[in-house]
Structure 1
Amino acid sequence: MKTEIIKSLSNNFEDHSKTTESGIEFWFARDLQQLLGYSKWDNFKKVIHKSKISCEATGNETLDHFADVGKMVKIGSGTEREIDDIMLTRYACYLIAQNGDPRKEQIAFAQNYFAIQARKFEVIEKRIKDWERLQARQKLTLSEKELSELIFEQTGNDRNFGIIRSKGDQALFGKTTQQMKNKLGVPKDRALADFLPTITIKAKDFATEITVFNAKEKGYKNER
């Protein structure tokens, strides 16, 4: 496929994408029909039907990706009439491309276009999740550092920090820190939090902040 054709098709697909008020990207099926080289709506609806079956087969809710809507179109002399249309998510467009006629140049392009775009989204989503986890982990490190310094200041012994943190883990997980590390297969020289999901890291951080608050507010002086 020539470079200029690829560039033209790419621009056309992006130009026809729209966004709902809640930020969900979508295409109208009537627009996609033209982009994919289908002259008859009835023929394109057959492809959509097969795509819905594919959607269900992958365990996805069809209505989440194929939403029936009505759209007003001009029919001449300034008059309009309502026609059936479908709002399609990017995933729905991908399925339609996969179920389309592979002999069509537009279909061949769309199959690769939506597959690549889906992969880009997955990469971006993973990076965001990794960033959120890193932020949570760094926040927990700061909270634990504050607690460690506070415990040493008020009890005169930094050994108490490990004991108190283990008791905190037991309250949070029902197991001591070491028991949790054994359960998750955490190496001896690594921290438990390095192997926890983001939401659990945040829970540990919140529990640590509560301990810091109580230690300051109530002036705790010993481990117990």
Structure 2
Amino acid sequence: MKTEIVHSLTSTFEGHAQQTDGGVEYWLARDLQFLLGYAEWRNFGAVIAKARIACEVSGHPVSDHFVAVNKMVELGSGSQREVDDIMLTRYACYLIAQNGDSKKQEIAFAQTYFAIQTRRAELIEQRLLDAERISARRKLSATEKELSDVIYEQAGGNQDFALIRSKGDQALFGKSTQAMKAQWKVPESRPLADFAPTIVLKAKDFAAEITIFNAREHRMASEGAISQEHVTNNEAVRKTLLDRGIRPESLPAAEDVKKVERRLASEDKKSLKNPDGLDS
């Protein structure tokens, strides 16, 4: 396919993209019909039907990607008539392209266009999740350092910090730190938190923040008092998680957060060298 045709089709497809009030990108099926080279709505409807089945088979809710709507169209006489239409997500468009007539130049282009756009969206979403986890890990580190400082200031030494944190883990997971390390296959020299999923990092951080607040508020001056406070807070956080159907000790380990940091840093360097590139 010639470069000028590719650029023209890219501009045309992107020009027909719209957004909901919530910022979700979509295309209207009757616009896509002509973009993909289908003159008859009936024939295009058969392609949409196949795409719906493919969506369902893939495990995605069809109603999330194919939304029936009505719109007014101009008739030759100058009057208007209401017709059925469908709001399509990028993923729905991709499925339609995959089920279309590949001999059509427009379909051949759309199959690649929407595949790349869908992949790009997935990469962006994963990067945001990775960045959120890194941020949660750094926040927990800062909170635990503050807790260590509080123990040192009020209990006369921060040698008790590791013990207090361990008791907090026991209360949160219902298992010891060592047991969770063994379960998640965490190297002995590494902190458990480096392999914890984001929800666990935030849970540990919340419990530690409450411990810091109450330790200062009530001027707790012993390891025993601060330790009991920390256990109570982790037990309360665990109860909240269990009430919402989340059992922290049953969650799978996440990727080593240090590896995630290195990967994102590497991707940033690559993007500076090749701003238009897309990793596969």
Q: TM-score range by the shorter chain?
A: over 0.9
The alpha-carbon deviation at position 157 of structure 1 amounts to 2.4
Stretches of structure 1 that go unaligned for 5 or more consecutive residues are: none
CA distance in 1, matches of 2:176, 2:211: 17
Residue equivalent to 1:2: 2
SS at match of 1:13: helix
Per-residue deviation, 1:138 = 0.8
1:74 matches 2:62: no
* Deviation larger for 90-99 or 179-188: 179-188
**Higher deviation after alignment, 28-37 or 169-178:** 169-178
**Structure 1 equivalent of residue 90 of structure 2:** 90
Q: Could you give the per-residue CA deviations for residues 20-58 of structure 1, whole angstroms, max 9, x where no partner exists?
A: 112211101110010000111111011011111111111
CA–CA distance in structure 2, aligned partners of residues 150 and 48 of structure 1: 62
TM-score under structure 2 normalisation? 0.78
Alpha-carbon distance in 1 for matches of 2:59, 2:134:
31
What is the match of residue 40 of structure 1?
40
Specify the alignment match of 1:200 in structure 2: 200
RMSD, aligned CA: 1.0
- 3-state SS of 2:154 partner: helix
Query: Aligned with 2:75: secondary structure?
Result: strand
2:167 and 2:144 mapped to 1: Cα distance? 14
- Name the CA distance, whole Å, in 2 between partners of 1:62 and 1:127: 26
1:219 paired residue number: 219
Query: In 2, distance between residues paired with 1:54 and 1:213?
Result: 53
Which residue of 1 is the match for residue 104 of structure 2? 104
C-alpha separation in 1, matches of 2:221 and 2:68: 66
Alpha-carbon deviation of 1:77? 3.6
Alignment match, 1:21: 21
Per-residue deviation at 1:177? Answer: 1.7
Q: For 1:114 and 1:16, locate their aligned partners in 2 and report how far apart those are by CA, in whole Å.
A: 13
For 1:128, give the aligned amino acid.
L
Determine helix, strand or coil for the equivalent of 1:81.
strand
Runs of 4+ in structure 1 over 6 Å off: none
Aligned-residue offset at 1:10 = 0.5
SS at match of 1:102: coil
Q: State whether structure 2 residue 50 is matched by structure 1 residue 50.
A: yes
Equivalent in the alignment of 2:141: 141
Greater shift in the superposed pair: 26-35 or 175-184: 175-184
Can you list the C-alpha shifts for 1:79-121, whole angstroms capped at 9, x where unaligned?
A: 1001111111111100000000010011000000011011111
| Counterpart AA for 1:28 | L
d(CA) in 2 for partners of 1:40, 1:77 = 21
Opposite residue 57 of structure 2, the aligned amino acid is: A
The aligned counterpart of 2:121 is 121
Residue identity over aligned pairs, in percent, reads: 61
- In structure 1, the residue corresponding to 2:222 is in which secondary structure? coil
Once residues 153 and 52 of structure 1 are traced to their aligned partners in structure 2, the CA distance between those partners, rounded to angstroms, is 63
Q: Which amino acid aligns with 2:19?
A: T
> What residue in structure 2 maps to residue 172 of structure 1?
172
2: distance between equivalents of 1:138 and 1:62? 38
Question: How many residue pairs are counted as aligned between the two chains?
Answer: 224
In the TM superposition, what is the alpha-carbon distance from 1:173 to its structure 2 partner? Answer: 1.0
Given residue 8 of structure 1, which amino acid in structure 2 is its aligned partner?
A: S
SS at match of 2:223: coil
Deviation at 1:18, TM superposition (A): 0.6
| CA shift for structure 1 position 122 | 1.0
Q: What CA distance in whole angstroms lies between the structure 2 residues aligned with 1:186 and 1:164?
A: 20
Matches of 2:141 and 2:51 in 1, distance apart? 48
> Secondary structure of the residue that 1:56 maps to in structure 2?
helix
Which amino acid in the other structure matches residue 205 of structure 1?
A: D
TM normalised by structure 1 equals 0.97
* TM-superposed deviation, 1:188: 0.9
